[in-house]
Structure formats: structure tokens, C-alpha cells
Structure 1
Amino acid sequence: MKRSTKRKLTRLGLYALFVAIVAWVALTVNWQAVHATFWAPGRKDNWHDLITIGVVKTLEYTAVCFFVGLIFATVLSLMKLSPVAPYRWLATGYIEFFRGLPALVVILACAFGVPIAFDWHPPIIWAGLLGLILVSSAYMAETLRAGIQAVPKGQTEAARSLGMSNARTLFSIVLPQAFRIVIPPLTNEFVLILKDTSLLYLIGVEFGQRELSSVARDFTSSGATAGTSTALTQVALLYLIITLPLTRLVAWLEKRQQRAR
């Protein structure tokens, strides 16, 4: 038998296996129970709060954590590349520490541990956002450091030969190019922060500060869809509506950069 024929038969066998698995699932699943659990009647009552409160607050928290974390990350990346050793040690320690901890642990520590230790009592939501900022800035700092180091050294040398100071060279030449290089991974980090805001429901935010997961949790315990997972299904759909375009944007930006190179 020819090798090409074997490949065709193997491919047909894989297709047949896939069809068989799908058919088995379709025939064995209790679709009535699935519909009652994940898409129960009364779901229309959930959309208003999920969108006007959950989506809005989720996007607000994501924007705050991303842009504040990006500013902090820029400072950390410059410290890590600094010729002054203590700055490098401090930045490296911070980055490795917060990259090594789960975001959930940091959020809980900022919401409950730090206020007790330092007698600091901010609104609970701001303590939670602080935890997300600390974690996201550590990841973005490494991304920015890589972007700065990816800028050709000839750019810096050319700027210095024109009489530019080190600070002007950094902010006028190096950083703009570095940010352009790291746009795809920063967009990906934005998506990760958006999904990590779902962890804020564990610290118990107030009614008007609820993000998507907190709103869904309330609907699973009360309302027309109480006792079902319908609200979670709706939240999953909303997350996908937000994140899928962003992930496709990341893929498009990466392809564009590859073509430019």
C-alpha cells in the first residue's frame, strides 16, 4: 500500500472516530437537564445587571489595573536595567516574588492581611485591585525589559552622537520603539488581567462594585435562575465576547510584526 494511501486512510479513521464520539455524546447526554441547568427560563432577567454592572465594572477594573500596572512596570524594567546594583536587586526581587505567587494569594493578602498588619483600611475593592496591580506589573516589567533590550543598540548610539542626553534618548528613542515591539504581549496581558478580575468576588465587594463573577454568584443564589448554573453560562458568554476579539487582535499584531521583520 502506498504511503499516501495510508495517510488518507489514517485521516479518514480519525474523522470517523471524531464523528463517533460526537454522536455518542449527543445520544447519551440528557439535553433536557442540561438546558434546565445551564440555560434555564428566567435568564432574560439576568442580562441587565450582568451587562450594566458586571461588564462595566470588569472593564473599569481591568483598565485601572493595566494602566497603573504598566506605569509601575516601566519603572521596574528601567530599574532592572539600571547600572546601579541596588536598583537591579530591588527590581529583580520584586519581579521574581510576585511572579512566583498566585494572583489569588496576593489579592487575599492585600484585602485581609495588609490592612491588619499596617492598620490600613481602604475600600475592599481597592485592596483587591492593588493585588492585581502588584502581580500584573511584575509580568509586564519583564515584557518591557525584553522590549527595551530588543531595540537595536545602534539607535541609542545614533541618538547620543546627535548630542541627546541619556534621559532624552531613553524617552524619545528607546521606550517608544520598545512599546511598539511589546504591543502583542501587552495586549495578551490585558486579557489575562480581565479574566483575573473574576477573583475579586472572593473578597466580597459591595453591591455597586460587583464585577461579572460577583453578579453571577448572586444570581446563582437568588432570582429567577437560582439553583442553576445559568448565570455562569451567561458570564462565560460575555467573557468570550470581550476576550475573543482581543486574542484575535494579538494574533494579527504578531503576524504584522513578523511581516515587518
Structure 2
Amino acid sequence: MKRSTRRRLTQGVLYAVLLGLLLLLVLAADWATIKTNFFAPAGFNNWDSWRELITVGVKNTLIYTAIAFVCGLVLALILALMKLSPLGPYRWIATAYVEFFRGLPALLVILFMAFGIPIAFQWTPPGGAVGAGVIGLVLIAGAYMAETLRAGIQAVPKGQTEAARSLGMSPGHTNLAVVLPQAFRIVIPPLTNEFVLLIKDTALLFVIGFAADQRELTTLARDFLSSGPTAGTSTSLVQAAILYLIITVPLTQLVSWLEKRQRRTR
């Protein structure tokens, strides 16, 4: 048997197995129960529930994400520059911070900021529970984005720095005008990916409790499990999942496009 024939035969068998598994799944599923518990018409056909999920849940999710991303990016830039500093103590502090917060679960950091720190220091974070949760996301995002920015800065060819210095530019001016703009251009795809991860991480904020108008998407969907037109079903969770996908899928496609574009321009 020729190699090409054997390859086509193998592919045909794999397609047949996949189709068979899908057929078994379709036949074994209890579609009536699935429709009742996950796609209840009272939720999908109710504009009021969609409106609240969008105008409260999605809005707050995007606001918390934007604040955490911008503040985390500023923190990450400071940490990245500290890690690249010629002064040892700055490098040690930045490295310890990055390793510490990258090694902790985001949920644990959020709980510490919401409950542990206020109890230990008798200090209430700005914004109360919401502020504490967002600060937790900032601390985590800053640690991850710091490594991304550091890699981007180090990826800028040294010849760029040397050329700028030969023109009489100071080290600080060289970093601001030459190195950082190129570094940010390099790290746009991973930073966009970090933004997507932050959108999903806002779901962890449900553990700290919110006022009605402060709830993000997951918290609002969870509350709908026990109240509202779809109480007692998981329809609100499916609705939230759809809204998350509407937000995140275009962003992940943007990341893929940016990565391909960067590969073509190298």
C-alpha cells in the first residue's frame, strides 16, 4: 500500500471515529432536560434579563478589567525597569515581587486584599470590596505583565540604544524615546492576551460580595440562579458564557492576527 493511500485511509478512519462519537453524544443527550435547564425560554426570550446582564454585568466587568489593566501596566513598567536596573537591590525587590505574586493563586490575593489586609492593618481599600478586588487583580496583572515588558525591552536590538547614545541622548531619554516605544510594539500581542485573561479573572471577584449595581457578569449570573425568571435553572450561566465569548473571542482573534503580522514584518 502506498504511503499516500495509507495516510488517506488513516484520516478516513479518524474522521469516522469522530463522527461516531458525535452521533453517540447526540443520541445519548437528554435534549428536553438540556433545553429546560440551560436554555430556558424565560431567560433567552426575556429582554429584561439580557439588559441587566449587559448594562450591569458586562459594563462592570469591562470597567474593572480596564482599571486593573491600566494600573497593572504602570506597575509592570516600574517592575520591568527595576529588574533591568544595574543596581542589585532594585533587581532583587522586583524579582521577589514578580515571583511571589506569580506563585500565588489570584483568588487568594483577592481574598487577602478584601479581608486579610483590612483586618490586619485596620485599613479600608478605596472603593471598599470592589476596590480591594481590583487591587488584587492589579497586583497579579502587574507581576505577569512585568515579565512581558522585560522581555520586550530586552528584545529591542542593542544597536538602537548604542545609536541613540552616540547622538548624545541620556540613558533615560534613550529608554523613553527609543527603547520603550519599540518594546511596547513588540509586546502588544501578549499584552492583549493579558487583557483577555483579566476579563475572565474578574469572575473571581464574586467571592467578596458586591452591592447590586456593582456586580460583574459572573456574580450577576450566579444571583439569577436563585431569583428572576430563570431561578432554579442554569440558563443565566449560559447567558453569561455567551456574553463572555462575545467579548473575548474577537480579542483572541486580534491577538492571533497581531502575532501573524509581527512574524511577517520580521
TM-score w.r.t. structure 1 length? 0.99
Distance 1:58 1:70 in 2: 18
Give the equivalent residue in structure 2 for 1:231: 236
Choose which of 100, 111, 119 in structure 1 pairs with 2:122: 119
Does residue 69 of structure 2 align to residue 66 of structure 1?
Answer: yes
Q: In 1, Cα distance between the equivalents of 2:188 and 2:85?
A: 23
Q: Deviations over 1:43-86 (max 9, x none)?
A: 12420110000000000000000000000100000000001110
Q: CA deviation at 1:41?
A: 2.3
Alignment pair present for 1:28 and 2:25: no
Q: How many aligned positions are there?
A: 261
Note the alpha carbon deviations across 1:194-223, whole angstroms, 9 max, x for none.
100000011111111100001101100111
Give runs of aligned pairs for residues 215-230 of structure 1, distance below 5 A: 215-230=220-235
Q: Report the more deviating stretch, 126-135 or 4-13.
A: 4-13
Which letter maps to 2:209?
G
Q: 2: CA distance between counterparts of 1:9 and 1:88?
A: 58
8 Å Cα contact 1:191/1:246 also seen in 2? yes
* Aligned-partner Cα distance in 2 for 1:135–1:201: 17
Partner of 1:138: 143
Counterpart residue number, 2:96: 93
Q: Which amino acid in 2 is paired with 1:21? A: L
Q: Superposition pairs for residues 3-22 of structure 1, below 5 Å? A: 3-22=3-22
Flag structure 2 segments of 5+ consecutive residues without an equivalent: none
Query: Hey, what does 2:168 align to over in structure 1?
Result: 163
Structure 1 residue runs of 5 or longer lacking an equivalent are none
Say which SS state the counterpart of residue 221 (structure 1) adopts: coil
User: Are the aligned partners of 1:220 and 1:228 in contact in 2 as well (CA < 8 Å)?
Assistant: yes
Q: Contact between 1:55 and 1:211, CA under 8 Å: does it hold in 2?
A: yes
Verify: 1:106 aligned to 2:109, yes or no: yes
| SS state at 2:225 partner | helix
- Structure-2 residue corresponding to 1:78: 81
Query: Which whole-Å CA distance do the structure 2 matches of 1:28 and 1:124 have between them?
Result: 45
The residue aligned with 2:253 is 248
Distance between the aligned counterparts of 1:3 and 1:164, measured in 2? 63
**Which portions of structure 1, spanning 4 or more consecutive aligned residues, are displaced by more than 2 angstroms?**
none
2:225 pairs with 1:205: no
1:47 aligns with 2:50: yes
* RMSD (CA atoms): 0.7
Opposite residue 106 of structure 1, the aligned amino acid is V
Q: Sequence identity of aligned pairs in percent?
A: 64
